[in-house]
Structure 1
Amino acid sequence: MKKVFFSVLIIYLLYAVTMSSYLFLVDTPLPEAYIGTEADPNTFMNEEQLILSTDFSKWRNVLYFVHTPFEWLIYLFVICFGISQFFARWSKQLIKFKFFQTALYVILLSCLSFLITFPIKYVAYSISKQYGISIQTFESWMKDNLIGFWIEALLLTVVVYVIMYLISKSPKRWWLYTWLLSIPFTLFLMFIQPVVIDPLYNEFYPIQDKELEEEILQLANQVDIPADRVYEVKMSEKTNALNAYVTGIGSNLRIVLWDTTLMSLSKEEVLFVMAHEMGHYDLNHLKQLLIGMIALSFVGLFITSKLYQFTINNVGKQLNLKRNEMAAIPIILLILSLLSFTTSPMSNAISRAYEYQADRYAIDLTDEPDAAVATFHKLSVEGLADVNPPTIVKLFRYTHPPMVERITHIREYRNEIDKTK
């Protein structure tokens, strides 16, 4: 199995070199139809911004395509070299109760993964600072990483404990019971995230501009969004990027604006952004995505159970692993991660379609196409966005349409409306 790992490692290194070379060398020309239009970055970015956005995007893309399969290597490494088995045995020797055994195992596994991937994360942080997107101090960045570490460790402990328990009780149907339990668990996390998890990272408070808040709430009332307050989040100490979103479910539904967005956009532009986010809610995108995620997890867990059984049957003895052993959990995590990556182009395509719908919704609600285009220009400049990415990057990374397509879509939609009047 060690030979298998080193073979996979060589394949990974060849892949990393090839993919990095391609992403650094590829130049995606702007389609002729866009040249000279509002969607052409040459019309709203200066020469320095164009160079910076191109270079920054290439670094981000390389780090994504290198880092994602690197995580798979970690799972393979801890299994093939007996590290997972050692962590599991040690946890059982030190602790009597099963849940706390699981917690210690997860912490040990998470610590190892954190240390191995830390250099890549630090490079990503450094590049973001170098290009002026991040202004976060190293101390603040480390604090966010540590908070994320413990939140993920806690959630993973619960997931691993439940999965191992179900496998021991129902070897053939554990995946189905896991799926059924994942539904209320996901809804619970969505409910508590705005009020419990998000405030651990950033400071949230009622928006300071009360006049703007009133206009935003008026928009919300028009589309029956049950929100009675708009929240501002203090991001200006961490980033120069802009963002806004509607989050949470039920009584914890929140409309949130980054303070950087309020500093950079005009009132009309902010209202367009908020109308776009409200569109996601009113068009039931959040519910549809949730239903789609639940359906996809059903298929994913079924496939995972079959691949997991196949792996244990064929290499379980060589790895000294049994089906219901905690030490085998990296196999399940590896399979789930692989499935998530392979389905990302499909989920991203659906997300991009929803973004187009929300853009049209915002135009209908605000009647401000000029504000929409100006917003997209500012988002591109402040975030050094690649407005016309390579196809492979768009497929695997873009949950939102590239700005070239998004700006053009807005104008075409508005022209269609004008023709019908």
Structure 2
Amino acid sequence: MRSVLMWAAVAMAAVLVNVAVVAVAQEAGKTEPQAVAQASPQGPPTVTVTKEMRQHDAWRNALYFGGAVYGFLVLLAVLALGISRRLRDLARSITPHRFLSAMVFVALLTVVTTVLSLPLDVLSGYVVPHRFDLSDQSLGSWLWDQAKGLFLNILLAAPILALALEGIRRRRRWWLALWLGSIPITLFLVLIGPVVLDPVFNTFEPLKDEELKTEILNLASRAGIAGGRLWQVDKSKQTKEMNAYVNGLGPTKRIVLWDTIIAKLSRDQLLFVMAHEMGHYVRHHVWKLLGFLMGLLLVVFWLGQRLAEWATRRFGAAWGFDAPHDPAALPLLLLLVSVFLFFLSPVTAGFSRILEHEADVFALELTHLNDAGARAFVKLAEDSKVLPDPHPFIRFWRYTHPTLKERIQFCTTYRPWEQGLPNRVWQGAPGR
């Protein structure tokens, strides 16, 4: 029973934070386009702000903040309208077994919240990208991706959260148990993501361009990366935007290029982008980010238990439960963690910007491809249609990367080797 309780603690924390942790861990490997810009063959790129960019930026920000509030309201409505209580009773009528009924409840809750969130998901994930010519994906294909995502959510969440609720029932200081438990489970999910979860939505295969592969592997060798794993993925079936990222851990760690970025960037631009990703790899950014997030989550879970117990005493009778371990209280726990993580967004985004800038420094010091780097950001930006220099509040709250204006300026001005100054990050010899 002791081992069951430990896995319960592990499970609860992992599911509550999995989306945030894994997403941000992958985000540490992204090169994010952020504006439409035009490059002149002579001189540095110049950024042109268009009406479409302003409109797209407004949509993105409205959907981000509005979507967060809508998500909070969905969970609150599930509690206040008695939906959670009814779902728990329905689950218990299906099976009286506590663990199995908790699994059934989680599955039902996942379906209900997904349906309630679908209108906003369609707007943000389908309507807006098509409105700004960022996707050609059919509605049927998009809905199929959502269905697969729903299936995976249920498959992972149902048994894990059922164990977690049992653990909360038996542990007095369950906030600490959940935090400790979140570490191995989150690492496991990051580990299996590239080989189990991601292939559900896309086809991954080794980089096909042998000449490009050889150049990238030579670059990786100089960066101190042995046996680098390079993959490409067919993201063009879902988006016209471009991206490359690092994900996975240990044997599953890899650098992934979207097929769109391979098709649209020049060889030097791709090498700069790959050097940026290698910077994440060499500087252990995924580990640093995970460690940083785990530190924040220690506070989140500590506050979470106290607020959950207070809310249960204050609203539990009206909402149909009398303890945080009651399945009907699960939306309350999810709501609290969601609110905490939302208000911690500026903190996590700020830390991510530090890592992204360090990866840019690494790429320039490794390759000296300053012009190619600046023009890579230009081309990456062409499909993004986002303002190059957003409002300071938006940058503070949302941006996990420096703005495009900052990155282009840095690429065009950072040349310590020309003044005989030492590098900041990379200590080897530049070149290709």
Superposition TM-score tier, normalisation by shorter sequence: 0.7 to 0.9
The residue identity in structure 2 corresponding to 1:292 is F
1:235 and 1:382 map into 2 onto residues whose CA distance is 14
Q: Given the superposition, is the C-alpha separation of residues 39 and 98 from structure 1 closer, same or farther in structure 2, using an over 3 Å criterion?
A: farther
TM alignment of 1:42-61, pairs within 5 A: 42=48, 50-61=50-61
Quote how far apart the aligned CAs of 1:39 are: 6.1
User: CA deviation digits over 1:72-121, x for unaligned, max 9?
Assistant: 11111111111101101110111233333222212221222112211111
TM alignment of 1:76-87, pairs within 5 A: 76-87=76-87
SS of match in other structure, 1:236: helix
Maintained 8 Å contact 2:44/2:412: no
Equivalent residue, structure 1, for 2:127? 126
The residue identity in structure 1 corresponding to 2:294 is I
Quote how far apart the aligned CAs of 1:310 are: 1.0
2:195 and 2:404 map into 1 onto residues whose CA distance is 32
Equivalent residue, structure 2, for 1:251? 251
1:337 and 1:39 map into 2 onto residues whose CA distance is 40
Equivalent residue, structure 1, for 2:368? 367
User: CA deviation digits over 1:386-418, x for unaligned, max 9?
Assistant: 21111222122211111011111222322x442
The residue identity in structure 2 corresponding to 1:299 is V
Shifted more, 261-270 versus 224-233: the winner is 224-233
1:201 and 1:409 map into 2 onto residues whose CA distance is 36
1:41 aligns with 2:47: yes
The residue identity in structure 2 corresponding to 1:136 is Q
1:111 and 1:148 map into 2 onto residues whose CA distance is 11
Quote how far apart the aligned CAs of 1:150 are: 1.6
Quote how far apart the aligned CAs of 1:194 are: 0.5
Scaled by the length of structure 1, the TM-score of the pair is 0.86
User: CA deviation digits over 1:307-333, x for unaligned, max 9?
Assistant: 111111222223231112110011110
Q: CA RMSD in A?
A: 1.7
SS of match in other structure, 1:245: strand
2:393 and 2:228 map into 1 onto residues whose CA distance is 41
Shifted more, 312-321 versus 363-372: the winner is 312-321
Equivalent residue, structure 1, for 2:339? 338
The residue identity in structure 1 corresponding to 2:47 is P
Runs of 4+ in structure 1 displaced over 6 angstroms? none
1:208 and 1:353 map into 2 onto residues whose CA distance is 33
Scaled by the length of structure 2, the TM-score of the pair is 0.84
TM alignment of 1:191-270, pairs within 5 A: 191-270=191-270
Equivalent residue, structure 2, for 1:355? 356
Higher helix share: 1
Equivalent residue, structure 1, for 2:26? none
Equivalent residue, structure 2, for 1:318? 318
1:236 and 1:319 map into 2 onto residues whose CA distance is 45
Gapped regions of structure 2 (runs ≥ 5) = 1-42, 422-432
**Count of paired positions:** 378
Shifted more, 384-393 versus 73-82: the winner is 384-393
The residue identity in structure 2 corresponding to 1:96 is P
Maintained 8 Å contact 2:388/2:404: yes
1:113 and 1:227 map into 2 onto residues whose CA distance is 43
Equivalent residue, structure 2, for 1:184? 184
The residue identity in structure 2 corresponding to 1:57 is D
The residue identity in structure 2 corresponding to 1:348 is A
2:162 and 2:179 map into 1 onto residues whose CA distance is 14
Quote how far apart the aligned CAs of 1:367 are: 0.9
Quote how far apart the aligned CAs of 1:245 are: 1.1
Equivalent residue, structure 1, for 2:395? 394
Equivalent residue, structure 1, for 2:174? 174
2:359 and 2:159 map into 1 onto residues whose CA distance is 36
Maintained 8 Å contact 2:293/2:348: no
Maintained 8 Å contact 2:45/2:375: no
Equivalent residue, structure 2, for 1:27? none
Q: Given the superposition, is the C-alpha separation of residues 391 and 228 from structure 1 closer, same or farther in structure 2, using an over 3 Å criterion?
A: closer
1:260 and 1:334 map into 2 onto residues whose CA distance is 37
SS of match in other structure, 1:401: coil
The residue identity in structure 2 corresponding to 1:246 is V
The residue identity in structure 2 corresponding to 1:197 is L
User: CA deviation digits over 1:192-217, x for unaligned, max 9?
Assistant: 11111000010111111011111111
Quote how far apart the aligned CAs of 1:40 are: 4.1
1:329 and 1:349 map into 2 onto residues whose CA distance is 30
SS of match in other structure, 1:232: strand
Equivalent residue, structure 2, for 1:279? 279
Quote how far apart the aligned CAs of 1:148 are: 1.2
Quote how far apart the aligned CAs of 1:51 are: 2.3
1:391 and 1:52 map into 2 onto residues whose CA distance is 20
User: CA deviation digits over 1:207-243, x for unaligned, max 9?
Assistant: 1101111111122222333444311101122211000
Equivalent residue, structure 1, for 2:145? 144
Maintained 8 Å contact 1:213/1:229: no
1:346 and 1:226 map into 2 onto residues whose CA distance is 33
The residue identity in structure 1 corresponding to 2:307 is L
User: CA deviation digits over 1:254-313, x for unaligned, max 9?
Assistant: 111111001000111001001101101111211111111121111111110011111112
TM alignment of 1:5-24, pairs within 5 A: none
User: CA deviation digits over 1:38-79, x for unaligned, max 9?
Assistant: 46412xx7xxxx222221121111111111111111111111
Q: Given the superposition, is the C-alpha separation of residues 339 and 227 from structure 1 closer, same or farther in structure 2, using an over 3 Å criterion?
A: farther
1:307 and 1:99 map into 2 onto residues whose CA distance is 25
The residue identity in structure 1 corresponding to 2:411 is I
Maintained 8 Å contact 1:53/1:385: yes
TM alignment of 1:152-167, pairs within 5 A: 152-167=153-168
Quote how far apart the aligned CAs of 1:419 are: 2.4
Equivalent residue, structure 2, for 1:20? none
